[in-house]
């Protein structure tokens, strides 16, 4: 159905032109009629007007909304004829007088509107002069020294609690040994480093290796390629939806990320295998991912728009798939330029902890994975989360929260902290590291590597309190999982109480405590969010809970951003 024009009273005597709004003068600056687009009212032209019957509803002729100046001239000429037709109508002069009075009343209201609006804003919740006076009167006295201190010192430094005993306690009753600290540098690949560190600890112990690392660049290459395909295919799948659709909007806001979760480790390693770090070493772009990721994401957004346009014009699935393949070829090229092209075959010599060669063999990435790891990552691990803002003992899955289109959707079981910690302790006692993630920067002392709620006293510094609990912080976007690390030690008291935990980090050997972070049990309760555990450490009753149908949460749920 075409657009029609609705005639309404205007407050101007000028001819006006704009997007969807046109005005025509009816007298010497007195009152006018304004035509604006509307889908269900009148669409008059000069020929449609009759003194007896008025205007008849008709379809808007193409020249009513001219796209350029020449059409505007034609419109104005027609408008002038229209005005003359009005003037000849017997009742028109009487109507003009009525409209003059109406115009004066409306004009008076409009002139008074700014003052009325300002008054309403203040009365309805703005800061008035009296309120500001009360705010100032409520300020604590004698804060000059504190103000002077904060002028040249950081808030964290002034709020630091002196002599926190946890900053010097390094004892752990149970610990998984590790060799070598990794460094993700300026990248968001903590999830990948953590997942690979869990596997390398097993390999080091089983084969009595010295310091050893898997190639993070190799896995990252295919992660970025798979994520690019996930985005492009999701665009095709949702091509019939408008750009304003929440899912489409989320896709174009998040076409690519170097962050992720354990399901990315599962997808990439099971599909593409592993290689030692020396076979595909780190590059500058691998250690500093932002510019590469920005450029690929820009290309993906361009490609996403093209695929939507092709789908809108009726392109079939085969044509879209062919176009997507060409797009991914460009992404592959960009990745290969930045990271190097992944090897398909290599020769590697295994050495023992003393550096003595043990054997030399030729491998493919998949055969290397099967030889030295061999675990079924997709079926041997379960993901748990502590989210007190949602019901416990329920499973949840997050839409589009996977690293590859044909990969596993991240599904987790929400449990209380005491149940999660029991499984974590059982795993550590068996010398098995775990993938965990937390809100790492809360109450962290970067010099000692200790995370403790007693590290900083912000309340005393600002003469207030910060009483929100974990559920409140989640609901109000104040806290969420931000960084993944390898859980590898726990200190358990004689009465079975957990005192503290330790993780192997991926910020280099000089960060924290020799490349590790130590977390008090109280901190662990408040800021630990995710834990991945082998099935053998999960109680039978807990395993049974995974049989329920998970609740699907949207991809934009604030708690489920990838770890970086």
Q: How far apart are CA 498 and CA 488, in angstroms?
A: 14
CA diameter of the chain = 111
The closest alpha carbon to 342, from 193, 203, 220, 228, belongs to 220
Distance CA 367, CA 365 (A): 6
Q: Tokens in use for 324?
A: 């997507």
Residues 6+ apart with CB under 8 A from 549: 395
Q: Which of 439, 460, 443, 462 is nearest to 451 (CA)?
A: 443
Any idea which residues carry the catalytic annotation?
190, 483, 505
Helical residues (DSSP H) of 88-128, grouped into ranges: 92-123
**HEC assignment per residue over 398-448:** ECCCCCCCCCCCCEEEECCHHHHHHHHHHHHHCCCCEEEEECCCCCEECCC
The two beta strands, 16-18 and 346-351, are unpaired
Nearest C-alpha neighbor of 517 from the set 486, 543, 545 = 486
Q: How far apart are alpha carbons 252 and 521 in whole angstroms?
A: 40
Structure tokens at 352: 């023992």
Alpha helices (runs of H) in 209-355, residue ranges in sequence order: 216-237, 246-253, 262-272, 284-287, 290-312, 317-339
Please list the helix, strand and coil fractions of the chain in percent, rounded to the nearest 5, in that order. Answer: 45, 20, 40
């Amino acid at each position: 159905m075409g657009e029609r024009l609705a005639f309404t009273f205007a407050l101007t005597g000028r001819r006006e032109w704009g997007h969807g709004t046109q005005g025509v003068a009816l007298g010497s600056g007195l009152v006018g009629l304004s035509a604006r687009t509307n889908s269900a009212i009148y669409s008059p032209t000069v020929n449609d007007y009759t003194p007896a019957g008025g205007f008849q509803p008709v379809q808007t002729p193409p020249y009513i909304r001219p796209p350029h100046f020449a059409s505007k001239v034609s419109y104005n000429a027609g408008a002038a004829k229209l005005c003359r037709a009005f003037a000849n109508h017997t009742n028109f002069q009487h109507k003009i007088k009525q409209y003059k009075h109406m115009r004066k009343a409306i004009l008076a209201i409009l002139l008074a509107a700014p003052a009325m609006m300002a008054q309403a804003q203040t009365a309805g919740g703005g800061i008035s002069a009296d309120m500001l006076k009360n705010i100032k009167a409520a300020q604590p006295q004698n804060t000059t020294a504190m103000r002077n201190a904060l002028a040249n010192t950081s808030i964290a430094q002034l709020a630091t609690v002196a002599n926190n005993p946890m900053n010097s306690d390094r004892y752990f009753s149970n610990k998984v040994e590790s060799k070598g600290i990794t460094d993700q540098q300026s990248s968001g690949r903590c999830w990948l480093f953590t997942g690979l560190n869990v596997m390398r600890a097993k390999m080091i112990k089983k084969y009595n290796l010295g310091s050893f690392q898997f190639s993070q660049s190799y896995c990252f290459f295919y992660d970025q390629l798979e994520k690019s395909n996930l985005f492009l295919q999701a665009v095709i799948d949702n091509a019939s939806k408008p750009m304003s659709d929440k899912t489409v909007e989320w896709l174009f806001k998040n076409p690519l990320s170097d962050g992720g979760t354990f399901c990315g480790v599962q997808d990439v390693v099971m599909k593409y295998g592993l290689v030692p770090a020396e076979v595909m070493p780190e590059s500058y772009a691998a250690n500093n991912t932002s510019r590469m990721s920005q450029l690929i994401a820009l290309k993906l957004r361009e490609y996403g728009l093209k695929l939507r346009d092709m789908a809108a014009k009726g392109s079939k699935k085969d044509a879209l798939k062919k176009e997507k393949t060409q797009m991914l070829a460009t992404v592959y090229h960009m990745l290969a330029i930045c990271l190097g092209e992944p090897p398909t075959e290599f020769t590697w010599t295994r050495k023992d902890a003393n550096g003595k060669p043990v054997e030399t063999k030729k491998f493919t990435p998949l055969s290397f994975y099967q030889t030295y790891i061999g675990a079924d990552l997709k079926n041997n691990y379960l993901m748990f989360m502590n989210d007190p803002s949602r019901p416990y003992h329920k499973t949840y899955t997050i839409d589009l929260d996977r690293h590859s289109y044909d990969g596993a959707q991240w599904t987790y079981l929400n449990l209380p902290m005491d149940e999660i910690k029991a499984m974590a302790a059982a795993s550590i006692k068996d010398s098995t590291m775990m993938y965990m993630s937390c809100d790492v920067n809360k109450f962290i002392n970067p010099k000692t590597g200790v995370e403790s709620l007693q590290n900083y006293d912000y309340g005393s510094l600002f003469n207030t309190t910060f009483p929100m609990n974990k559920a409140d912080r989640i609901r109000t976007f104040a806290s969420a999982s931000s960084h993944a690390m390898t859980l590898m030690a726990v200190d358990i008291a004689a009465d079975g109480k957990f005192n503290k935990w330790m993780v192997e980090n991926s910020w280099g050997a000089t960060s924290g405590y020799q490349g590790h972070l130590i977390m008090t049990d109280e901190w662990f309760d408040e800021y630990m969010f995710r834990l991945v555990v082998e099935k053998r450490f999960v109680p039978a009753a807990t395993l049974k809970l995974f049989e329920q149908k998970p609740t699907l949460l949207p991809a934009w749920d604030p708690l489920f951003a990838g770890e970086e």
